[in-house]
Structure 1
Amino acid sequence: MRACLLYALIYDSDDSIELMKSLNGLLNSWLGRGAWVLLCAIAFTLPARAGNGVYVSTNPNGHNAVLAYTRNVKTGLLTYVGRFDTGGRGLVDIGGAQSHAVVATRTQLFVVNPGSNDFTTFALRDNGSLLFMGVTSSGGVRPVSITVSGNVIYVLNQGQLGVATASCNGFTLGDDGLPVSIGTYDVIYEAEAIPTDVFFTRNGARLVVLLNGSDAIDTFSASADGALTVNRRLTGVSNPVGGAMSPVQPFVAFATLDDDTTPRMISIRATGTALPSIVSSAGLSSTVSPCWAAATPNGKKVWSSNFAAGSLTLFSGKLNGSIQAVSSYVPASSSPGSLDVAVDQRGKFLYRLRAFNPSGGAAPVPVIEAMKITKSTANGGVQLVQTVSLPSDLQTASPTGIAVTAP
C-alpha cells in the first residue's frame, strides 16, 4: 500500500523521472529489490492516462519539441497546452520527405529527432501535457518515421545520400516503458532508397516500408516479439511518400504516389509469403502531389493530403480493400502546403498540418486545421471548423507529423 501511494505521488509530479531515480536506493532498502522491480512493472502497466490531444513535432534546425493541444470531442476545437522539449534535435532539410514522425499509443507518445539520430519517449497525461521519459538512439542516420504495435517499435532512418545508408531498426518496450534495441532484425537499405514511411498493418502482422527513391514498397512478416521473417517487395510504384493501414483489413494498406504524370493513391494487399499486390488505384485532377494519408476507424473513408494543391482528396473504402476517388476539399489558397493528417478515434474529426509555400518564396506561418468529418461526400467529406497558427518561430522550421490521442 505504501509503495502504491508513493508511486501515485511520483507519477503526478513534473519531476517524476528524477524522483524515481533518487528514490531508487531508498526503495531498494525499504522494500527490497524484488519489490522495487514489481513497483516499476505496476507503474508502467496502469490504465491509460492519455487525454484528448493533438501533437505536432516542431523540427527546427536546433532543439526539437512537441506542441501539445487538447481537443474538444464534441466540437473538435483545439486549445494550446504547451511546448515540450524532446531532448533531441530537428533537421529542416528533410523538408516533409517523411510520414508518421509522431505516433501515440494509449499511454505514450514517440517522436523522431532527425538532427540528432534518435527518438524520444513521452508519457501522455490526461491534461494533454507530456512527461519526458527518455531519448533512444535510432540506430541509424536521419530518423524520419516511427511505428508501434503492442510493445514493438520500428524506426525508419532515411540515411544521407553519399554519406550514410538508410535502415529500419527495431525496438521493444522494457518494463520501465523505454525502448530497447532488438538489433537482430534491423534492415539496411542503400541511401538511394530514400525511405519515407514505416507502419504496421492493423493486426501488427505486417510491417510496411515506403521507398521513395526505389519506387518500391517493402512488406515484412512481423511477430509479436518484433522478429521480421519474410521480406517481399512491390516494385514499379512511382514516388511513394506516405501511407496508412486499413483499420478493418489486417493485410491491407494505403499508399500515396506522388507521380509526375498520374498522382494517385493505391491500396495494396500483403498476405502470407506472397508478393504484395495492388488492389486498386484512384485519383482526381485535384489530387496534386499526394504525400500523406489517413482513414476513419471503420475504413469507409480514406484521405490523401496533397501538398502542392493544399487539398484533401476523399476516397471511399470497400470491404475488399479497394478504394474509389470521390471528391476533394480545395482551400482558397494552396499555401501553406498540405502535410500530415490524422483522424480521431471516433471518426468525427480530421486534423491536418499545413506548412511551407508550394510555389516557393517566403514560407508562411504553419497551421493546424481542425475539420469536421461530414456525412456528405462533397468537398472531400470535411468542413473546416478551426485554424490554429503555430508559434511564429516555426516559419523557418520544418514541422512534421501529427498524432491524435483519446483516453
Structure 2
Amino acid sequence: MTIRMTIARALVAVTVLGLGFPSTSAALQKSYIPLPEILTDPNEGNTYGFLGVVLFLDEQKIIKYILAPDVRYNHITGVDPTFRLFGYPSIARKWSVVLGKSEHIDEDYDLRYEDNGFWQNRARLFANFEFEQDSSERFFGFGNGSSQKAESNYTGRQLNALVWLAYRLQPTLSLTYRTRVRVFRVEKGGVDNLPSIEDEHPGTPGLGGATIVGQEFGLLYDTRDDTNIPRQGALGVFTAELVPRALGSSLSFVKYAAEGRKFIPIHDRIVLAMRARADYIAGPSDVPFFEQNDLGGHESLRGFGGGRFVDKDRVFASAELRTRVYRREIFGVNAELELAPFADFGQVFHSSRSSPFNDLHAVGGLGFRGVVPPQVVGFVDIGLGEQGLAAFTGLEYPF
C-alpha cells in the first residue's frame, strides 16, 4: 500500500469514526447547491469544473456540515476530482477533510481541526496534517525586484504536520506554542513551457529538499469579538520559532514574526479591517528557498501569484472595507453578500539593515464575500498589480 493511499484511508477513517458525521446527518435538514466552476489562478491558469454542495442545517438553520465534492479540469493538472467535508459542531469548533488526486501530478490530502474552547475554555487549539503535491509552483529568484523573465517551475512535494496551542493567561492575553514538522522535496514541474528551477536557478538553497522541525513560542493579545467573522477589536502577536538541527532539521535557523490587526465598525454594515506584519529570519545563507519569506497569493499581495517575491525578510500590510450589501435566506440558510475593496502593500528584503519601505509593491482590488454566520465565509478576491490581474477563491477571510 502506498503512502498516499494510507493517508487517504486514515483521513476518511478519522472523519467517519472520530467526527461522527454519518450518525448525526440523518436528523439534519439538507440543502443542495449545484454550481459550475470557472476559476483562474496566476500559477495554474484557467480551471473549469462542477461543484456539488450539500448543506446540512440544524433547526436554527445553522450550518453543521458542508459536503462539497467537485471535478475540475486544468491543462496542468488534467482531470482533478476532490472530496471535501467541513464540520461545524459548535461556534467554537470546526474541522475539515480534503482528499484530492489529479490525473497527472497534483495531490492534496488535508485534515484540520480547530477548537477555540479547548480544555474547558482555558486554551485554543489548532491541528493540521497535510500531504501535498503542487506541480504549478513558481520561483523567480530571490529579491524584491526579481524579474518576470526569470520565471521557473517545479513540483513542491511536502508533508506537513503541526499543532498550535494558545493558553489563556487572561481573557485577552495568551501564551502560544506551535510545533511543526515539514518534509519538502523539489521535483519536476508540470508546466511544460517553463524552464525547471534547477536549470533557471542552479545553486538555489533547498533544491535537494529539507526536513524542518520547528518549535515556536509567542505572546498573543486578542480583543476581537469573533475569531471567525470579526466586526470589532484588535489582535497583536509576536512569535519566535527555533529550528535546530538537534531535533532533526536539515539546518538551524530562527524565525521572528510580529503582526497586528484592527477591526473598526464604521456602520452596522461596514467594517474597516487592517493588518500589518513583519517577518525576519536569523540564520545561515543556505536557508531553503521554500522556508524563506514570500509575498503573493490570497493572504498577502493579491495581485500576484503565490510566492512571487522571496527573500529572508518581509513586511506587508493590507486594508479592506468589508461592506454588507445584501442579506436574505438562500438555499435554506441566512446568507450575506459583502463587497470589500482592498489595498495590499509589501516588500521582501535580504537583511535587517535594508530599508523595508523603499520599494513597496502595491495591489488594489475588490473582494466578493459570501458570509453565513456564525462561522462560514467564502471569498473571491480580484487584485490588480504591476503584472496585471489575479484572482483567488477559497474559504475564510484573508485575515
TM bucket (normalised to shorter chain) is 0.3 to 0.5
TM-score, normalised via structure 1 length: 0.33
